[in-house]
Amino acid sequence: MPGISAFRFNLRVALIALIFVLLLLPPLLNALPASHPLRVSDFVVAVTGKWICYAILALSIDLAWGYAGILSLGHGAFFALGGYAMGMHLMRNIGNRGVYGHPVLPDFMVFLGYKELPWYWLGFEYFPFAMLMALLVPGALAGLVGWLAFRSRITGVYLSIITQAMTYALMLAFFRNDMGFGGNNGFTDFKDLLGVPLNTPSARAGLYLAALGALLITLLISAYTVQSKFGRLLIAIRDAESRVRFLGYDVTAFKLFVFVLSAMMAGLAGALYVPIVGIINPGEFSPGNSIEAVVWVAFGGRGTLIGAILGAFSVNALKTWLTSFAPDLWLLVLGGLFIIVTLFLPRGLIGLGWRRRS
Amino acid sequence: MKKGASLYLDGITVTFDGFRALNNLSLIVEPGELRAVIGPNGAGKTTMMDVITGKTKPDSGTARFGDHDLTRLDETRIANLGIGRKFQKPTMFDALTVFENLELALKAPRGTLAALHWRLSGEARDRIEEVMAETGLMDRAKDRAGILSHGQRQWLEIGMLLMQDPELLLVDEPVAGMTDQETEHTAELLRRIAGKHSVVVVEHDLEFVRALGRKVTVLHEGSVLSEGPIEQVQEDPRVIDVYLGR
Ligand SMILES: Nc1ncnc2c1ncn2[C@@H]1O[C@H](COP(=O)(O)OP(=O)(O)O)[C@@H](O)[C@H]1O
Ligand SMILES: [Mg+2]
């Protein structure tokens, strides 16, 4: 890898390997007999699984922001759209086991007087189709918003505002009952996925390992991307966008490519998250979620990939711990973290360990 | 000798908030020509390069490179026509190394997928090393561009221009911050490049322009004041009046 000494490169690989080994522990220790002192609870598995999904989201933000300088404050929307795609599949899997026992329509549709499934629900009974949509819908939205913005050379804070508006608009839309996505209740009471009941230990372990596998794959894709000439162009675009144009590169195409890739990764994260937490509702679109995810990346250290992962885990660990006894303090602490990082830790946690290209 | 396109500017006017930075400017540069452009600060030299490279759209006038209407193309398209530029304030990618900066500039397919799959060939490495040797940056290959001195940044940007291998090179004040020896080297380099490429070089330094020894265009208040060999231009009373005489 150019620009990074072999020693630092090995250090990174070692750190990544350590993270993944540690992440294998919760499901393994969960499988121990209940009396065993090292056994971890189902709760720990579920919470760690959730954080893994957040880590994928953080990785996707780092790719766009840390490397290409696209500070999206709307990645929560891509995450939520992926989650909704998976949620639709899980709703269809309920079949006639809903409260109303309708063979096709989810409960909320029966309640709202739907006679038949809206056209955009067609195909979601198939798992591969739902997974595809979890990638393609966020990707297409990012493609549209990105194309409009990058083509007009909208950058910096203006782009951030546009993406915030995007997630806010989607939140309002998804709150509406007539959208056909369950209104403010969203989707919940899922039964099974791929034939496995969700409340079983094997489903919990399977979902966890799927998320961990996805984290590894998205990390490898991101690492390949940033170590290529493409990655160096992203850094060039981040630091001197207009200069890149004078070299004959189509900056819009590069930004669009990375923004769409990043949105698809966020969608994947959301799709994995929903069966783990068992619910998806419009709150996932709330603008604050997107901002929080950016803080994870800033705290961990942007433009490093691994920093994004560390940031997602550490900030969420702090949040889970804090909200267990002082939930009101969380926003204050989050804001404080952001200020600390901005003022004292521009390279984030990872910057404490070693210095890297700024 | 490569047969390239000629640069043709006619009646170019650019105004910023009512101020005419370029005023009915006309200029023709033939393929393979080396042209020096001089003129006092604010004469519009940089703005002229902005027009040629698509950074600034003129209010009126014609700008062509070969058959291409430059006023209708964006910076990327113009760069891909074979027009490369060195900026007055050296501009490069500070977080990347000298080598990486040159690698990005190297003439190669510019698409996203090409960049993803790019492998540095031996040939490309040789070319980059050749340019690093030419620009005296060989032992800075692994240093980030951000830590280079001003003079070295000038050289790196000249190197990037060489990597692009454009038909037309626009070089804005290349020798600012260079030693006399480096200035002479730059003049020698540009003379060597010309012939195979067209070169337009903007410079204040008259010694340097004399060293180039080619046709000179004097800009003043956004239009051409005088044009010809340096000896003739130096004798021109209008030039003496506004520029050389001071
Ligand atoms: N973007 C701009 N906005 C407003 N004025 C500008 C801009 N660019 C250049 N100018 C003005 O146009 C004139 C010509 O500038 P410039 O082309 O940079 O001159 P030169 O390179 O010959 O010193 C100057 O008076 C400058 O202040
Ligand atoms: Mg200038």
Domain range annotation of chain B: 1-82+166-246, 91-165
Judge whether residue B1 has pLDDT over 70.
no
Residue ID of nearest Cα to ligand 1 atom 24: B42
Mean pLDDT of B167-188: 92
Judge whether residue A2 has pLDDT over 70.
no
Residue ID of nearest Cα to ligand 1 atom 16: B44
Name the pLDDT band for A5 (thresholds 50, 70, 90). Answer: low
Judge whether residue A116 has pLDDT over 90.
yes
Selected residue of A5, A238, A247, A304 to mutate for chain B interface (largest B Cβ count, 10 A): A247
For every residue of B90-111, which 3-state class applies, written as one string? CCCCCCCEHHHHHHHHCCCCCC
A251 and B CB contact within 8 Å: yes
Q: Which residues pair with B15 in a beta bridge?
A: B20
Looking at the domain assignment, is residue A341 inside a domain? no
Token pair for A19? 């993270």
Chain A residues in contact with B160 (beta carbon < 8 A): 247
Mean pLDDT of A132-158: 97
Q: How many domains does chain A have?
A: 1
Q: What is the mean pLDDT of chain B?
A: 93
Looking at the domain assignment, is residue A338 inside a domain? no
Asked whether B94 and B145 are in contact (CB, 8 A), the reply is: yes
Judge whether residue B245 has pLDDT over 60.
no
Domain range for A234 is 42-285
Residue B86 CA: distances (Å) to CA of A85, A198, B215: 49, 62, 20
Name the residue facing B115 among A229, A235, A246 (closest C-beta).
Answer: A229
Looking at the domain assignment, is residue A89 inside a domain? yes
* Atom in ligand 1 nearest the alpha carbon of residue B172: 21
Judge whether residue A1 has pLDDT over 50.
no
pLDDT tens for residues B81-140? 999 999 999 999 999 999 999 999 999 999 999 999 999 999 999 999 999 999 999 999
Pocket of ligand 1 (CB under 6 A): B 16, 21, 39, 41-47
Looking at the domain assignment, is residue A272 inside a domain? yes
Judge whether residue A159 has pLDDT over 90.
yes
Percent of chain A with pLDDT over 70: 96
Name the pLDDT band for A7 (thresholds 50, 70, 90). Answer: low
- pLDDT reported for residue A12: 84
Judge whether residue A9 has pLDDT over 90.
no
Mean pLDDT of A186-198: 95
Looking at the domain assignment, is residue A25 inside a domain? no
Q: What is the mean pLDDT of chain A?
A: 93
Name the pLDDT band for B2 (thresholds 50, 70, 90). Answer: very low
Chain A residues in contact with B117 (beta carbon < 8 A): 228
Percent of chain A with pLDDT over 90: 86
> What CATH class has B1-82+166-246?
alpha beta
Asked whether B119 and B99 are in contact (CB, 8 A), the reply is: no
Please answer yes or no on whether B92 and A254 come within 8 Å at the CB atom: no
Residue ID of nearest Cα to ligand 1 atom 10: B21
- pLDDT reported for residue B144: 97
Which of A68-72, A288-292, B209-213 bottoms out in mean pLDDT, i.e. has the lowest? Answer: B209-213
A240 and B CB contact within 8 Å: yes
Name the residue facing A232 among B100, B110, B144 (closest C-beta).
Answer: B100
Q: Report the residue of chain B nearest A226, measured CA to CA.
A: B116
